[in-house]
Chain A
Amino acid sequence: MKGLVPLFIGVFGTFAFSWVGLTVIPNLQIGALNPQMDEEGTDIYPAPKSGMADRGRRIYAANGCIYCHSQQIRPEYASADIDRVRDAGPSPGPKWAERRSAPRDYIFDRPVVLGQERMGPDVANMGKAAPTEEEKPAAAPAASAPATSPAAAQSPPANAGAPKPGPTGSPAAPAPSAAPPAGSPPAPPTTAANPSPAASASPNPAGLPPAYSDAWHHRHLYSPRSMSPDNRDSTMPAYKFLYEKHPISGERSADALQLDGRDAPPPGWEIVPTYEAKCLVAYLMSLDQSHPLKEVKTAGGAPPAGSPPAAPAGSPPPAPPKK
């Protein structure tokens, strides 16, 4: 080729084409979405996150959680994401999601942490998996049920062969009566055909906090492989550096971690989350895409009345309601 001019024009032209096509035009299409609300201007979704949760997202990004956890649910026709249930917790575990993710779910996210790989489960609806307020009181009685309960079948006691000391009987223990099943042979994994409502909220019998509660997350971050025997293959690193070891002075801290076995601090000491850990957990608990969106079909149900049928991802989202 002779002459620089055609070369320059071509080099600029091809790249400008891509830049406009893949960033500028999509930005016009989905780069200025508003939260969705109903006619009265209430029921606004999504809402900006609290300060702590927002800070938690920075911690989530900076410590590389994004490299193993995605935060995007693919549609039913393209994946099993919506059919998947979480491993931990009562059986059947909480579902990953009821619907696919849509651009509007992320409008307040910065940085947006969609993820690219799943060495760990998707966390787009992590907060939704948390036990609800009314379930929590039911947890204690259910925990003392025999190990053959469906809950125990789903997640048998940790290290059943080597009995662990139960919770040290502190008042902060979420399920103080959970010790008995430890040491008893794990129940055969029978199918949890008809979990009773009470059992569905029962915590792990090995003294773990109720699955996906605040306390559960803290313990999971501190010692991921202590959660249940199933979890021993987890490749999640422990984030012990987000926790502090303090001597107990007087009262035990309310947020001290319930730990046993190898992880337990020496007597007279306690492990408490740092502010960063609290932010991170607040962030995880804030993750919830369960609110229906007009542009997305929710699994097992028709889209909300008055909206067009399941818009494929290709169609532009409906214009936000104007005030």
Chain B
Amino acid sequence: MTPTADIPLREPTVSAAAGDAEQLERARIDASTRVPVLMFYASAMVWLLIGTLLAGFVSFKLHSPDWFSDVSFLTWGRLRPVHMNVMIYGWASMAAMGTAIWLMARLCRTTLRHPLLIVTGIWFWNIGVLIGVIGIVMGYSTGYDWLEFPPYAALVLFVAYALIISWAVMMFRFRRGDQIYITQWYLLGAFLWFPWLYSAAQAMLFVVPVQGVMQAAVGWWYANNLLFLWFGAIGLGTAYYMIPKVIGRPVYSYHLATIGFWTYALFSSWTGMQRLVDGPFPAWMITASIAATILTIIPVATVGLNHHMTMQGYFPVMRYSPTLRFTVFGAMSYTVFSVVGILISLRSTARYLHFSQASIAYSHIGLYAFFTMIMFGSMYYIVPRLVGREWRYATLIKLHFWSSAYGVGLMSLMLLVGGLTQGADQDDTSMTFIESVASVLPYLRGRTVAALLLTISHFIFAFHFGLMLFGLGRTSTVPTFLNPIEAEGSETHL
């Protein structure tokens, strides 16, 4: 049980025993990604904790506004964008890039070259986020949703991104084998979409600013595409890798996967304007986005069906495998996310849901229930392979899962129901406006309870991750199962 000095690889024990060249090679690839990916995860965890504490703070302040309100940098209106941007660029993007790079190396079956460049990029990225956060707190927020970082912080992020992703894409050049697995499509797409999206938004908002309401259109185009084509694509790609891998069975249908990918790229990129429904825009823009949102049901159905058929008969594995449990939760939330997206964007329902808390629910279902849960799942899979230790406590993983699942479930429910109440009251002109605010307050208090659950969940995970990072995981050749495994599950690679 004494942690030995050579933490890095577990390749000798596992692969030598198995006598498996392929496993040796995998361990070598994993080792090449070890430093950058762990750095990504460690940074992401720090930002996650900061973002979570801010979330609780902001949530509490929304129904108890006099709490710490007299200090300029603690005012709600500045901490809210800090929370959002920390979660988006600090936590979600860094976790996404960590997982994506690891997956890319594995799937290209090549070692990651020049990890030091990526490490430099990670430092830059962290500094960029930090500069942006300080900018917002000091009162230099740009005022565009999800793009509140001052432009100079965005520049740092961009340099960082170039350093990081150029080598991730270059892995393609050195890949072995002809087949490009479906996960790689999503990852490659995300790698190329993000810089285009980010630079286009920055250029159209800050360099050569577009006129008037077009800024809002560009802003929401950016925000929704970031959600779908950056986070969503990496999330789906990860799920396509993790689910078959854990249950040891190929993806059910390659054709479905193809259809799912291309319809996803085509339709989800056209969403965004529905967040401006009935606003001061040509109606065709909004209608196009609503139609695209409705059409996202096609990728949802194909991807969902594909995952479901892959899992068919293997659902009990979720009892044991933390990775699978988180990933399947995320994959199922993808369906919920799209359905909620459709429901809140239809013109008939938007009358009661637009300008209400429901849109906050939508963002959280997408970014947390769908994307973040898949990232958690992938971290449960990847981290042991990088540190050569297994997760120490199954109980902590279970606690993490349940508090996250209940937390985000409660939050979505509160915000959706509260949003409906709020929106319906706003539509009723016999009620004063303040009554519509009062009607949503109980739900906002409920949301604070959800934030508390999520805080607990994230601190548990961070503690567990810290143990792994400092080599305090279990030394074992058997992964950590959530429940004592029964006899027959041995053929799976949990």
Contacts and interface: CB of A to CB of B under 8 A. Distances in A.
Interface of A: 1-4, 7-8, 10-12, 14-15, 17-19, 21-23, 26-27, 29-33, 58-67, 70, 72, 74-75, 78-80, 83-87, 100-121, 224-225, 230-231, 233-241, 312-316
Contact of A106 (B205, B213, B360): B213
Interface in B256-301: 258, 262, 265-266, 269-270, 272-273, 275-285, 287-289
Contacts, number: 250
B15 interface: no
B282 A110 contact: no
B75 A237 contact: yes
Contacts of A61: 141-143
Contact of A11 (B63, B192, B441): B192
Interface residues of B, number: 96
Contact of A23 (B144, B217, B354): B217
Given A17-B266, A23-B210, 10 more contacts: A1-B258, A18-B270, A22-B217, A22-B285, A22-B288, A27-B210, A106-B213, A109-B212, A116-B359, A234-B437
21 contacts: A1-B180, A10-B262, A11-B188, A11-B265, A18-B221, A18-B225, A22-B273, A30-B282, A62-B139, A65-B77, A67-B81, A84-B429, A86-B433, A103-B281, A114-B216, A224-B65, A233-B438, A233-B441, A237-B65, A237-B76, A241-B71
A10 B437 contact: no
B295 to A, nearest CB: 13
B327 to A, nearest CB: 23
Interface of B: 61-63, 65-66, 69-72, 75-78, 80-81, 136, 139-145, 172, 178-180, 185, 188-189, 192-193, 196-197, 200, 204-205, 209-218, 221, 225, 229, 258, 262, 265-266, 269-270, 272-273, 275-285, 287-289, 347, 350-351, 354-357, 359-360, 422, 426-429, 432-438, 440-441, 444
Contacts of A233: 434-435, 437-438, 441
Nearest to B265: A14
Contact of B280 (A12, A31, A103): A103
Contacts of B266: 14, 17
A79 B144 contact: no
Contacts of A236: 65
A88 to B, nearest CB: 9
Contact of A314 (B215, B258, B284): B284
A103 B78 contact: no
A102 B144 CA distance: 19
Given A23-B200, A63-B77, A87 B434 contact: yes
A241 B78 CA distance: 13
A58 B463 CA distance: 41
Contacts of B200: 19, 23
A74 B279 contact: yes
Contact of B180 (A2, A30, A239): A2
A114 B145 CA distance: 11
Given A234-B437, A238-B65, A114 B355 contact: no
Given A1-B180, A238-B70, A241-B70, A111 B142 contact: yes
A238 B215 contact: no
B288 A31 contact: no
A113 B143 contact: yes
Contacts of B63: 235
A318 B402 CA distance: 57
Contacts of A67: 77, 80-81
A106 B185 contact: no
Contacts of A108: 212
A22 B426 CA distance: 30
B75 A31 contact: no
A110 B438 contact: no
Nearest to B426: A118
A110 B209 contact: yes
A15 B193 contact: yes
A83 B436 CA distance: 15
B143 A66 contact: yes
Task: Give the 10 A-B residue pairs with the shortest CB-CB distance, closest first.
Answer: A64-B77, A61-B143, A18-B269, A314-B283, A106-B212, A74-B278, A241-B72, A14-B265, A233-B438, A101-B280
B216 to A, nearest CB: 5
B355 to A, nearest CB: 4
Contacts of B197: 15
Contact of B212 (A12, A30, A120): A30
B213 A64 contact: no
A15 B229 contact: yes
A101 to B, nearest CB: 4
B211 A31 contact: yes
Nearest to A96: B433
A12 B193 CA distance: 8
A228 B209 CA distance: 41
Nearest to A46: B212
Contact of A241 (B75, B76, B360): B75
A235 B441 CA distance: 9
A86 B434 CA distance: 10
Given A78-B351, A80-B428, A32 B279 contact: no
Contact of B70 (A58, A60, A121, A240): A240
A238 B74 CA distance: 11
A45 B248 CA distance: 67
Contacts of A59: 139
A208 to B, nearest CB: 15
Nearest to A16: B196
A79 B351 contact: yes
B282 A29 contact: yes
A110 B169 CA distance: 37
A4 B187 CA distance: 13
A67 B142 CA distance: 13
Contacts of B422: 118
Contacts of A74: 278-279, 354
A313 B283 contact: yes
